[in-house]
Amino acid sequence: MCGIAGIFGASHADEQLNRMVAVQRHRGPDAEGVCWDQSGGAWMGHCRLSILDLSAKANQPMYDNSGRYCLVYNGEIYNYLEIREQLEHRYRFRTATDSEVLLAAYIEWGADCLDRFLGMFAFMIWDTKDKVLFAARDRFGVKPFYYSCTDGGVLFCASEIKALHAAGIDKTFDPVSWSTYFVYGAYDHTEKTFWRNVFKLPAGCLLTWRDNTLQISRWYDFRERVGRLTENRSIAEVAEEYCSLLEASVKLRFRSDVTVGVSLSGGLDSSVLLSLIRRFHGDSANINVFTFFTGDERYDELPWVRAMLMGTNYPLTPCLLNAHDIPVQAERVSRNQGEPFGGFPTLAYAHLFSMARKHGVTVLLDGQGMDEQLAGYDYYHSAAAQSGDITPVQGTTLPLNLAHCLEEDFKHVARPIEKEDFFSEELKNLQYRDIFAAKIPRALRFNDHASMMSSCELREPFLCHRLVELAFCQPDARKIKDGQGKWLLREIARDMMPQSVSTAPKRPVQTPQREWLQNDLADWATACIATAMRGWGRAWFKEKEVWRTWDLFRREGGDNSFPYWQLISLGLMQS
């Protein structure tokens, strides 16, 4: 994993480019470089975290053998060895990297190369002959790609927002994004960011730039692909294919020239991941395992993780997050994220990634994505119940928000996540929303930035598109049964682990955020909210109502701390 930067349409941009690379150095501390084609107005930079082929010849920016094409790339193409075999008769490889395979694949197949890649990626290729930029982002947006285009047609691209700001892009909050966040709790659901004129290249899209003209198009169409799939096979046949794809995905993500570890919780998804790792590597392999805990037994999953590791020699590093760690950690993570993030769990994971790096682990496997593809969340159940053969469970009330604290003009610019009925089944519509608009995009942004803050690469084996597509197109009854989600995975897991684990109800990964904000961290939270009210918050909020609501939460408690975390987030970003 790395950091990439590019400026296109500028006659002189070396100083701006150097600043962009410098502020992303944490993403790639092993090497960095810049290149430019001044006649084409193209400037590209890269900072490298070495994972495959650790030699200097694998550094970037990387030119092809002819010198025509130049690449900067962030990510991993896991099936690069298989693609390389197809190209070796046409291309003379100088390195053992997936980066050079990506470059050669683009030269051979053009944009069609993207369909061949299994992995996570965000990259830019500059054609020095035709003066054309080609850039792309992976299917689910695991790797970030931000861009901004000036009125004069100059395009800026980077792995992180702060690199764009370092280049001089205007650092002004976008009121629509902030209002939407406060009213609906929605973020990372469109190409817009919390900053004016800073956008994300959507997942599964490609970008071209030529003659100061920017074009964005979709190369991966999930709806079209799952729309072509019909499922008339038996459960046994589907389970066999799903298990085979799952095994292949985990195995591919162990391709690395540096140490690979695992981030685990105590739930079903982590148990499946660990079972597959044990199957491939045995119980005596040196697989480092990391899990976070807070010392609060109501939330901690450390006992379950220890139970999962019984019978193995895998070293376990429990990563303790204390309340007194939060203020400093929150400021660090807020600066790194560049946008609001998901509260104390993100801070806990950032601490875990830091601990992994200190233990010499550069690559971590994680279990993101299973709940969305196989309907693991409780609120999916009422949608599935419409089919008539699913047992619904008690839902939860809608979360509170800060709408009553907002000034009317500001509140009315909020835009909710649009409800789109692409599929005839309501469950699939909810899953699609969560995969591409609600849950997965923001979780991937949180995790990418939090891990790369410590120069640690995070890999997501459950987000292989073949897995997601197969799971998504299954009938509702194969996802939710007897009041439990992820039924297909539970069936597969019966042969991997004790029934007490495979049938256990979902335990959300949590931290005592609510309790700490009401008690240990109340003074710190109050100070953050005061900072928020001194900045943009003064124009956006009814300050007396904010303080009344906050005081009520401190005195009487409540089961939802998210609105107060939103205020803290605004304060952190303004401090």
Structure tokens at 424: 């005839």
**Residue 392 pLDDT exceeds 80:** no
- The answer to whether 2-220 and 224-502 have equal CATH topology is no
Percent of the chain with pLDDT over 90: 82
Cβ neighbour number for residue 394 with a 10 Å cutoff: 8
Measured distance CA(416)–CA(187) in Å, rounded: 10
Measured distance CA(60)–CA(39) in Å, rounded: 21
Give the number of C-alpha atoms closer than 13 A to the C-alpha of residue 234, restricted to the C-beta side.
Answer: 3
Which residue has tokens 């049938």?
503
**Mean pLDDT computed over 329-349:** 97
Predicted confidence at residue 384, as pLDDT, reads: 61
Predicted confidence at residue 228, as pLDDT, reads: 85
In this prediction, residue 400 has a pLDDT band, given cuts at 50, 70 and 90, of: low
Q: Which of the residue ranges 89-98, 335-344, 379-388 would you say has the lowest mean pLDDT?
A: 379-388
Predicted confidence at residue 368, as pLDDT, reads: 93
Predicted confidence at residue 397, as pLDDT, reads: 33
Structure tokens at 338: 């560049």
- The CA–CA distances, whole Å, from 215 to 115, 168, 207, 208, 567 equal 19, 23, 6, 5, 36
Residue (of 268, 262, 304) closest to 281 by Cα position = 262
Predicted confidence at residue 484, as pLDDT, reads: 87
Which residue has tokens 């550069």?
362
Q: Which of the residue ranges 45-49, 59-63, 501-505, 535-539 would you say has the lowest mean pLDDT?
A: 501-505
* HEC assignment per residue over 315-346: CEEEEECCHHHHHHHHHHHHHHHCCCCCCHHH
Measured distance CA(32)–CA(189) in Å, rounded: 32
Structure tokens at 340: 């609001």
Predicted confidence at residue 389, as pLDDT, reads: 38
**Residue 381 pLDDT exceeds 90:** no
In this prediction, residue 420 has a pLDDT band, given cuts at 50, 70 and 90, of: confident
Q: Which of the residue ranges 133-147, 429-443, 482-496, 531-545 would you say has the lowest mean pLDDT?
A: 482-496
Predicted confidence at residue 202, as pLDDT, reads: 98
505 DSSP 8-state letter: P
Predicted confidence at residue 277, as pLDDT, reads: 95
Which residue has tokens 């205007």?
170
Measured distance CA(269)–CA(272) in Å, rounded: 5
Structure tokens at 493: 């897991």
Which residue has tokens 């650790």?
54
* Residue 232 neighbours by CB under 8 Å, 6+ apart: none
* Residue 489 neighbours by CB under 8 Å, 6+ apart: 268, 269, 272, 370, 374
**Residue 178 pLDDT exceeds 50:** yes
Measured distance CA(209)–CA(40) in Å, rounded: 11
Amino acid (one-letter) located at 366: D
**Residue 1 pLDDT exceeds 50:** yes
Predicted confidence at residue 436, as pLDDT, reads: 96
* Residue 100 neighbours by CB under 8 Å, 6+ apart: 58, 62, 93, 94
In this prediction, residue 391 has a pLDDT band, given cuts at 50, 70 and 90, of: very low
Cβ neighbour number for residue 288 with a 10 Å cutoff: 17
CB 536 within 8 Å of CB 572: no
**Mean pLDDT computed over 281-301:** 92
Phi, psi at 186, each rounded to 5°: -100, 135
Measured distance CA(33)–CA(259) in Å, rounded: 25
301 DSSP 8-state letter: -
CATH topology of domain 2-220: Glutamine Phosphoribosylpyrophosphate, subunit 1, domain 1 (3.60.20)
Residue (of 118, 74, 49) closest to 362 by Cα position = 49
What pTM does this model have? Answer: 0.95
* Residue 443 neighbours by CB under 8 Å, 6+ apart: 342, 368
Cis peptide before 498 (omega within 30 of 0): no
How do the domains of the chain map onto residue ranges? 2-220, 224-502, 513-574
**Residue 395 pLDDT exceeds 50:** no
Percent of the chain with pLDDT over 70: 95
List the alpha helices (DSSP H) in 24-160. 80-87, 98-109
**Residue 388 pLDDT exceeds 50:** no
**Mean pLDDT computed over 354-364:** 97
Predicted confidence at residue 417, as pLDDT, reads: 86
Measured distance CA(338)–CA(86) in Å, rounded: 41
**Residue 38 pLDDT exceeds 90:** yes
Residue (of 85, 26, 38, 37) closest to 61 by Cα position = 37
In this prediction, residue 494 has a pLDDT band, given cuts at 50, 70 and 90, of: confident
* Mean pLDDT value across the chain: 93
**Residue 319 pLDDT exceeds 70:** yes
For β-strands 199-200 and 146-149, DSSP reports them as antiparallel
484 DSSP 8-state letter: B
Predicted confidence at residue 401, as pLDDT, reads: 82
Phi, psi at 465, each rounded to 5°: -65, -30
Measured distance CA(521)–CA(472) in Å, rounded: 41
Residue (of 267, 230, 235, 304) closest to 462 by Cα position = 267
CATH homologous superfamily of 224-502 equals HUPs (3.40.50.620)
Predicted confidence at residue 251, as pLDDT, reads: 96
**Mean pLDDT computed over 553-571:** 92
In this prediction, residue 558 has a pLDDT band, given cuts at 50, 70 and 90, of: confident
